[in-house]
Amino acid sequence: MEYKKLEHTLSPSFPKIKLISDTIINLVGLLVVVGLFWLYDYFSWPTWAFWILMFLIVFSILGCIWSFIEPTLLYRSWSYQYDHNYLQISFGIMKKQWITIPMTKIQAVSTIQGPIMQRFNTRSIKIETMGSAHTIPALEESIALQLREDLAEYAKLKEVDE
């Protein structure tokens, strides 16, 4: 027996968006580490600092390599589905997760768009419930706006007893 894949997927440009934003973050991180190496050299910090810096650099290089593989894998793993009663989302590379949220428990829906996402005409959707918050990253603009409207509409109903 297997879990079924859900109906909708993310925008096909999601891997590109993620790769670009990850690369920017990684470059900044790398710059910081290089800066620390310079400080280490300039102020002749003790040896143990060298090992910590080595660890940091190995870690960030591994992170860089991973950031080239991760977006595609994550894109393939992401899916979502919704109807009048439930929102379902599913994602995860090493550990796959399926989340079911009753519409009545959704409290706020918002769309977010950064400069890179704007370039690709996508938006991400943040869903806040009574106990948690989930984000669907990068949906095509029209789909995202439609989803926001639909969720807002379906989530209007509230249960007795709240």
Binding residues (CB under 8 A) for other proteins: these are 1-3, 85-86, 92, 94-102, 104-105, 129-132, 157-161
CB environment 137-147: b (16+ within 10 A), e (fewer): bbbbbeebeeb
Q: Which is nearer to other proteins, 61 or 130 (CB)?
A: 130
Q: How far apart are CA 57 and CA 124, in angstroms?
A: 31
**Could you tell me the smallest distance in angstroms from the CB atom of residue 98 to other proteins?**
4
∠ CA 86-17-9, nearest 5°, is 30
**Could you tell me the smallest distance in angstroms from the CB atom of residue 96 to other proteins?**
5
**Could you tell me the smallest distance in angstroms from the CB atom of residue 82 to other proteins?**
13
Q: Which is nearer to other proteins, 3 or 43 (CB)?
A: 3
**Could you tell me the smallest distance in angstroms from the CB atom of residue 104 to other proteins?**
7
Q: How far apart are CA 108 and CA 150, in angstroms?
A: 12
Q: Which is nearer to other proteins, 96 or 119 (CB)?
A: 96
Q: Which is nearer to other proteins, 2 or 42 (CB)?
A: 2
Q: Which residues contact 127 (CB under 8 A, 6 or more apart)?
A: 87, 101, 106, 108, 109, 133, 134, 135, 136, 151
Q: Which is nearer to other proteins, 46 or 94 (CB)?
A: 94
Q: Which residue has the tokens 């943040």?
A: 126
Q: Which residues contact 117 (CB under 8 A, 6 or more apart)?
A: 17, 123, 124, 138
**Could you tell me the smallest distance in angstroms from the CB atom of residue 36 to other proteins?**
23
